[in-house]
Structure 1
Amino acid sequence: MSSFKQPALSVVDGAGGDVATRPPSFSAGDLAHALGLGTNLLVGRFRVDLSTGSWWWSDEIYTMHGWKRHEVEPGLEALSSRKHPDDRSRVVRAAAEALRLGRPFACSHRIVDRKGRTRSVVVIGQGSRGGPSHPPELVGYVVDATPVQKEALARRSSAVVTRAFVSQAVIEQAKGVIMAVSRVSAETADQLLLEAAGRAGIPLRLAADQVMTGLRAEGEAGGITQVALTRALDGVEPVGRPRGHDPLLTRRPRKVAH
């Protein structure tokens, strides 16, 4: 459950001076929707006293790195030990500049936790140059963005699998028709389809799709026969080349008399 509480707004009655509480104009749900809150992420806080070099971490930062609070001293050495080997040489100039000027910054890198799992984290912070009453410091958050990355990869993998399934279904459908009409084995049907695709120089799925499109047209005209199948296989052509029977694509432009 969220600990967010809508702040009470006070309204002063001009007549009697009484203070009334104005009801909130939005709910926590409205706020979550407006901010686009979705996947729950592990978020940790950190603070660095730049005058002494001392660090403080919240429990979440220990957790995402695979430590318990008593096992390691917060600091640069501990963070560097968990950084992904491929990211150790990266220098984030924006962060250094932000620290110098006291501006907010955000950057990302990968870490490897105690169990050898790679995590993607986003570091958000802001440096303060300090003043007479307080020392310069760096404060911010570390966000474990690994779940979002995994969700994106899962969606991409699902789309690839779906496309592959659809592609294979079209191929198998065309092969099945060839086997039924020509009374040949699956190997022979596969070879006939491969030869048609090879002649046109197109992928097998596109060849199968063209064959099925041609056969559907033949079926509407009176049934799928061996002649119709042969015509469909021979009619497989490179994608984008105008069809010879289409007068709108093959007609020569008319010459304009001067």
Structure 2
Amino acid sequence: MNTKPGPGQPPMDNDIEKALAGGARQPVGRYRLDLATGEWAWSDEVYVMHGFEPGDIVPTTPLMLAHKHPDDRARVDGVLRRAAETGQPFSSVHRIVDAAGRTRTLAVTGQGRRDPTTGRVTELFGYFIDVTESHREAAAREATASIQASAERRADIEQAKGVLMVIYGLAEEAAFDLLREASNQTNVAVRDIAYSLVNLFSGPDVTEFPTTEAIDKFLADPVLPNDI
């Protein structure tokens, strides 16, 4: 989707552009809010985003806020109030709970229109974009990366325990206790100490297995790689 606004269209900020980045085209719908009556005019797409058939209900501000996710409701209300006062372009990404009880993520962008005689902001207009799938895909990518990183750190801990078991002739539990003790004394996470210890004996510049003295020195004062 092209996020560059056309003539007379409200701009989208960086948060919305990020939400729209990648993936398939997101559903987009138009809206207009009459500030005097509190009534909204929705295109068919916006009805569908909220779980209604086009024309099923008369959209009003209380109805809109009732569908906002409870954790986002106050923030969205504040955005609308500021826009109604200033008429300045605005944008927001927030969650709604549609008529079927499903949580969806919408981006809204808009601006005010002033009465040419009084100069007062009389309506807000702009677009709703359903970015639910984009957010779901981003969350899945983040979860996958987090799981992968966690697995890598667990592997580091297992390797580090193995090194300590060999160097000091310890049982597995005692080797982990040694890592934990070093963590408590230095205020460095066990996973980071383990990663650094593994790097100490398996880094690209290492040519021999570290001595007991080298391990003692490391545990007393861990030197962390730059990528920690």
Gaps of 5+ in 1: 3-35, 242-258
Shift of 1:43: 1.0
Aligned 8 A contact 1:105 1:126 in 2: yes
Q: Which residue of 1 aligns with 2:194?
A: 208
Q: Distance in 1 between matches of 2:96 and 2:180?
A: 47
Deviations 1:205-247 (A, max 9, x none): 3433454455469x845x67xxx3x334322233469xxxxxx
Q: Distance in 1 between matches of 2:91 and 2:199?
A: 53
Q: Distance in 1 between matches of 2:114 and 2:149?
A: 54
CA RMSD of aligned residues (A): 3.8
Match of 1:237 among 198, 220, 224: 220
Identical-pair percentage: 40
List aligned pairs for 1:28-43, cutoff 5 A: 38-39=22-23, 40-43=25-28
Asked if 1:150 is matched to 2:132, the reply is no
Asked if 1:60 is matched to 2:45, the reply is yes
Q: Whose Rg is larger?
A: 1
Q: Which residue of 2 aligns with 1:29?
A: none
Gaps of 5+ in 2: 3-19
List aligned pairs for 1:142-181, cutoff 5 A: 142-180=128-166
Q: Distance in 2 between matches of 1:47 and 1:94?
A: 16
- Give the TM-score, by structure 1 length: 0.58
Aligned 8 A contact 1:211 1:232 in 2: no
Shift of 1:68: 1.5
Q: Counterpart of 1:233 in structure 2: which amino acid?
A: I
Q: Distance in 1 between matches of 2:40 and 2:178?
A: 70
Match of 1:120 among 105, 108, 116: 105
Match of 2:126 among 140, 146, 163: 140
- Give aligned pairs, total: 196
Shift of 1:184: 4.6
Q: Distance in 1 between matches of 2:33 and 2:61?
A: 10
Q: Distance in 2 between matches of 1:151 and 1:105?
A: 25
Q: Which moved more, 1:208-217 or 1:187-196?
A: 208-217
SS in 1 for 2:155: helix
Q: Distance in 2 between matches of 1:186 and 1:151?
A: 40
Shift of 1:42: 1.8
Q: Counterpart of 2:189 in structure 1: which amino acid?
A: P
Shift of 1:172: 0.8
Q: Distance in 1 between matches of 2:21 and 2:196?
A: 46
Aligned 8 A contact 1:121 1:146 in 2: yes
SS in 2 for 1:91: helix
SS in 1 for 2:129: strand
